[in-house]
Amino acid sequence: MSNFYLKCCSLSLLMFLGITTIFAQQAVTGKVTDGNTGVAGVSVTVIGTTRGGQTDANGNYSVEAANGEKLRFSIIGYGTQTITVSSRTHDVVLQSDEGNIDEVVVTAMGIKRAPKELGYAMSTVESKELTKTGSPNFAGALYGKAPGVRVSAAPGGATSGININVRGINSITGNSQPLVIIDGVPMRQSTFNNSDYWGDQRARGNGLEDLNPEDIESISILKGASAAALYGSEAMNGVVLVTTKSGKGGQGFSVDFNATYTHDQIAYLPRFQDVRGPGFHLGYNNSGQSPDMFVYYPDNMAVDGVKRGVMASSINFGPKFDGQPIVSWDGQVRPYVAQNAYGKLFNNPNNTIFNLAIGHATDNSNTRISFTRQDNQMTALDSYNKKNIASLNSSVTLWKKLKNDIVINYINQNTHNRPLLTDRLINNFTGMISTFDNPDWYLDKYKTSLGYKFVDGTNPSLTPEENLVYNGYKADVLSYMWDTKAKKYDEYSNRVLASYTATWNVIEDLDLRARFSADVTSQRFEDKQPTEKPLAYEYTGSFSIGNQNANVYYTDLLATYRKNLTDDLKLGVNLGYTATKTDDTYVQSETDGGLSARDWFDLNASYNLVKRNDRFNYRNRMLRDAFFGTLNFNFKDYWFVEGTLRRERISTMHPDRNVLYYPSVNSSLILNEAFSLPEIFNYAKLRASYGIVGNYPDIYKSALFYDQKSLGTQRLDGPSVIYATVPTADFGNEDIKPETKREFEIGLEARLLNSRLGFDITYYDGLIKDQILNYSLAYSSGAKSVLANVGTLSNKGWEFAINGTPVKTSDFTWTSVLNFSMNKNKILELPGGAGLLLHRDYDGAAAQLVSRVGQPMGDIMVRPVETDPNGNKIVSASGLHQIDGNSWIKVGNAMPKAVGGFMNTFSYKNITLDALIDFRWGGYAMPTGINWMKSRGLLEETLTAMDEEHGGLSYYKDASGKGIAFTGATGPNGETVYHDGMLMDGVLANGAKNDNIISQATYYANTYNWGGPQYSNSRYELYVQKNNYIKMREISLGYRLPSSFTSKLRAKNVQISAFGRNLFFLYRSIKDLDPEQMTGGSNWINGVSNAGTSPATRTFGLMLRASF
């Protein structure tokens, strides 16, 4: 009984205390301003509790708090304020943060500096900019948001590769991707090449897509050599510093939830004509067609009495669509109308992202745990990527001296049927779907009713009645559909990026830091290609399995010392050591000769001995370490000078020549503090820097001199025969040195008019020496080339960032940011004093991509039209222009002249509209596949001269095949008169003016054909187009629910938004595709002439965000 009485008393006491506490709390209200107008979106937190809220559009707030409790007011752009509750009303005035010049930012090697101390350019993108339009990866959210940074994402979906290019191309033939650092430690990333169809037919990524934007607090980009010099040979292409979110920002618990749905639509497809179908008239060629350009099947092939069909032709200069019945290639009778259904070959993906983050913070610790689920479809049919991401970011300070930081990111994902390259659909005549064709028909016919691959003609089949016998189908499209729908390709990946950092404040002026990290990835690949034919006919199908373990282990040690030498002069010293070990092992096996049992996906099913693919069997190991140090001085907090040095070694270089030094120096001067400037200036800084960074050759390239193989046992009980071969392609070079970049930079940044206007201007001049190239050798030497340091390249340019607040009232604010950069690239030296370096030859010497001394990299050269001494174009006897096979002319250069972005934010009360325009100006591209579509008569442009209405000339063909202009109904001898004539401007070989009229089919089929002069009359100068565009990259419309409503949900903030990405072009010079569709790999060379990836997409989405 006494226990029961005690429990009742205790419960009553607790209830009394709880009621007392509730009644002690009160609604504290007030207004937060900047001294003039209310500040919306300020986070108001009751320290030590989960209570809080946010100011409305006018700056008003209301929270439950008791007298004596503390309120924290925080928002980006203003200093954080804390007050103690003493009444029911508290108004707060926030002070402008003056651009965070006194806050701390993380620079190279995790060293923290105040922004005003930095003597080099560094761009930072905050988390809001990365997540407001639901991008599944961080790099795709960087478009147009940092000057000097160009982003291009390969289409296809969430697993596609992304290029980040900083300050132009720094390597003539090598990789130009920046180093990515996550919370101070390097991230493993790879290169990708989606322009090698015959080597790998699936669109690959490069690892950047594994980073979750929802877990990123900010991204800082170190662009110059001085900024990145502490990373030495890894930093020639710049450094991307990623800082992940932590639990700091307010004491107590916090919960953040985000749900995002996006729908991608296939967009920017070629402009197909919808006037006529496959075929051509008898004047072009007699292929047995009737005069109306149709074919008529025999009675035994009639379908429901219909015999009319299309020609078996890949070109589309045939009969106009008339809506009358016709037998299509799948044996169905349909109206003869344009289908133009190319987009149905692909999927319109639906994607979802759900993220839940829980944070907790005290005076000595903060922790954030985040869980994210991504379900992403891709542009290939039946393809998807499912991703589970968990992250932990925790910081605990012990004894006020020892800070411990733990960061763990775990990514588990399954990618099914990574998109296939579309090379055979756009770069191949027999794969270009005609205007009277439809992917839906291929979905019904790519396999037989028994599940085998389609069979055409009279080829053997268990279902001969299903063989494809009618004209019009494209075998390559059927094969693409089989590869997409029947084959099963899966990747299973587990990746952990983890780090532990301990920072000990030994004494007031001395800190010691130790950091250890690992980026560990385990992947399994399974490729199941089903049996295509009955085993009685042939063994087909295959199975392969591979396992990859790719790991990066990293450590660094850092000692930081600070000392006030005098009242005006401060000293800072950093000394450290860093080491990185990479280990990448891939083991793969595959069947050979087909599967011995139908669809038995196992290595034991191999008809022949199991084999391995050398491309997927390797082991790469590398160790890199360095000592580094920095020395900086601070004079009166307005003049800062810093010097750095890194001494580096790497295991893949000759041990006698693998020690290198990378120095840098930078300085900044705060002009408004050093001098008396006009009052219009709130802040002004002049900065300058110089540094050296490098780039090593690819792993195992420096010592490549022979290859060893085995013939196995050659006699009974005998030993295996081992032999060595000299490489017939490229010699290595143990004396090779890394490429080195020496760069000078100067900049000016300022804020004016009470920080309503700001600008940042940078000029840089970089010289990249010892370019690593394959120097050509005589074949008698045993190889065609040797690796050598034989090139010099320069990059010079300007970067501009201008930001302002044109309008700011109590209800409405408009902020705007314009950034753009201009880079001029030039080749200064090439191997052996050569004036030209060939990067790529296209289509049998029809065009070439070259670099020439004194010019920017990437000149596009083509064969010109031959001319006579008077400059007249020469027309051959065929009526087409004669191509000069002995000459080359430059028709463009691949390098852009300017890139940038224009961001605007409009806020009206609780509504926010964000819009981002990005642009590229200058440079050329050669989308050959689009031009080959012209040769097939598929595009709108090829309607020119199809008849008199479209400007065609009337003519008949004489006995020699020459086109004679004529206006009558029939020729003089009853010849057929055609009305699709074109006359080439020029003269014949004898100097007479050309008067040979040709059909438009002759013109387009030959002028836009494949091949150099020895193969065709193709005019590749017409293929090369300016690559300029201005694109509406992002639009986001958000609404923040009123605090009076969210407080009832016990939420600090609830926001809903609708958004779009890659929405439309304000201008583009290439009309029949999105220029980013040509992003064919990590190397710049692969983006000049490539359209064999998936089409681009236009994205629409909805997002819900809530904070508690």
Q: What is the mean pLDDT of residues 496-525?
A: 95
β 384-398/365-377 pair status: antiparallel
Residue 24: per-residue pLDDT: 52
Same domain assignment for residues 936 and 819: no
Residue 400: per-residue pLDDT: 87
Residue 833: per-residue pLDDT: 79
The percentage of residues in the chain with a pLDDT greater than 90, rounded to a whole number, is 64
Sheet strands (E) in 702-756 = 707-713, 720-725, 730-731, 739-752
Question: Does residue 734 sit in helix, strand or coil?
Answer: coil
Q: What is the mean pLDDT of residues 58-66?
A: 84
Instruction: Name residues whose C-beta falls within 8 Å of residue 307's C-beta, 6 or more positions apart in sequence.
Output: 296, 297, 298, 299, 301, 327
Same domain assignment for residues 379 and 512: yes
Instruction: Indicate if the pLDDT at residue 17 is higher than 60.
Output: no
Distance of CA 13 to the CA centre of its chain: 63
Instruction: Name residues whose C-beta falls within 8 Å of residue 190's C-beta, 6 or more positions apart in sequence.
Output: 206, 207
Q: State the pLDDT confidence band at 379, using cuts at 50, 70 and 90.
A: very high
Determine contact, residues 387/374, Cβ cutoff 8 Å. Answer: yes
Which carries the bigger pLDDT value, residue 1030 or residue 754?
Answer: 1030
Residue 220 is assigned to a structural domain of this protein: no
Determine contact, residues 271/304, Cβ cutoff 8 Å. Answer: no
Instruction: Indicate if the pLDDT at residue 564 is higher than 50.
Output: yes
Of the three residues 1007, 1022, 1037, the one that is the final residue of a domain is: 1022
Distance of CA 265 to the CA centre of its chain: 18
Instruction: Indicate if the pLDDT at residue 1 is higher than 70.
Output: no
Residue 283 is assigned to a structural domain of this protein: no
Residue 116: per-residue pLDDT: 92
Question: Does residue 461 sit in helix, strand or coil?
Answer: coil
From 789, 875, 785, 780, select the one nearest 831 (Cα to Cα).
Answer: 789
Residue 142: per-residue pLDDT: 85
Least confident of 60-69, 223-232, 371-380: 60-69
Q: State the pLDDT confidence band at 7, using cuts at 50, 70 and 90.
A: very low
CA-to-CA distance for 117 and 685, rounded, in angstroms?
9
Instruction: Name residues whose C-beta falls within 8 Å of residue 519's C-beta, 6 or more positions apart in sequence.
Output: 185, 186, 187, 188, 495, 496, 497, 551, 552, 554
Which DSSP category does 429 fall into?
Answer: G
Q: What is the mean pLDDT of residues 1011-1033?
A: 94
- The two three-digit tokens of residue 450, written as one number: 């028994």
Same domain assignment for residues 701 and 818: yes
Q: What is the mean pLDDT of residues 999-1021?
A: 94
Least confident of 37-51, 341-355, 1079-1093: 37-51
Residue 290: per-residue pLDDT: 95
Same domain assignment for residues 366 and 489: yes
For CA atoms 739, 742, 748, 751, give the dihedral sign: positive
Between CA 1021 and CA 1031, with CA 1027 as vertex, the angle to 5 degrees is 155
β 216-222/122-126 pair status: antiparallel
How many domains does the chain divide into? 3
β 659-670/639-650 pair status: antiparallel
CA-to-CA distance for 642 and 665, rounded, in angstroms?
6
Instruction: Indicate if the pLDDT at residue 20 is higher than 60.
Output: no
Q: State the pLDDT confidence band at 13, using cuts at 50, 70 and 90.
A: very low
Residue 831: per-residue pLDDT: 77
Of the three residues 971, 1004, 1022, the one that is the final residue of a domain is: 1022
Q: What is the mean pLDDT of the chain?
A: 89
Residue 5: per-residue pLDDT: 45
Which carries the bigger pLDDT value, residue 830 or residue 731?
Answer: 830
Q: What is the mean pLDDT of residues 691-718?
A: 78
Same domain assignment for residues 661 and 781: yes
Instruction: Indicate if the pLDDT at residue 19 is higher than 80.
Output: no
Determine contact, residues 217/246, Cβ cutoff 8 Å. Answer: yes
Q: State the pLDDT confidence band at 12, using cuts at 50, 70 and 90.
A: very low
Instruction: Indicate if the pLDDT at residue 715 is higher than 80.
Output: no
CATH of the domain at 19: 2.60.40.1120
Residue 939: per-residue pLDDT: 96
Which carries the bigger pLDDT value, residue 954 or residue 679?
Answer: 954
CA-to-CA distance for 360 and 249, rounded, in angstroms?
9
Residue 540 is assigned to a structural domain of this protein: yes
Q: What is the mean pLDDT of residues 118-127?
A: 90
Instruction: Indicate if the pLDDT at residue 78 is higher than 90.
Output: no
Q: Quick check: pTM over 0.85? A: yes
Residue 77: per-residue pLDDT: 63
Boundaries of domain holding 959 = 928-1022
Q: What is the mean pLDDT of residues 277-282?
A: 96
pLDDT digits (tens, 9 = 90+) for 731-746: 777 778 888 999 999 9
Distance of CA 568 to the CA centre of its chain: 48
CATH of the domain at 358: 2.40.170.20
Residue 916: per-residue pLDDT: 95
Same domain assignment for residues 563 and 683: yes
The percentage of residues in the chain with a pLDDT greater than 70, rounded to a whole number, is 95
Same domain assignment for residues 387 and 512: yes
Residue 50: per-residue pLDDT: 65
Of the three residues 96, 128, 153, the one that is the final residue of a domain is: 96
pLDDT digits (tens, 9 = 90+) for 593-650: 999 999 999 999 999 999 999 888 999 999 999 999 999 999 999 999 999 999 999 9
Same domain assignment for residues 587 and 732: yes
- Per-residue buried b or exposed e for 174-208, using 16+ beta carbons within 10 Å of the residue's own CB: bbbbbbbbbbbbbbbbebbbbbbbeeebbbbbbbb
Q: State the pLDDT confidence band at 768, using cuts at 50, 70 and 90.
A: very high
Determine contact, residues 51/57, Cβ cutoff 8 Å. Answer: no
Determine contact, residues 160/376, Cβ cutoff 8 Å. Answer: no
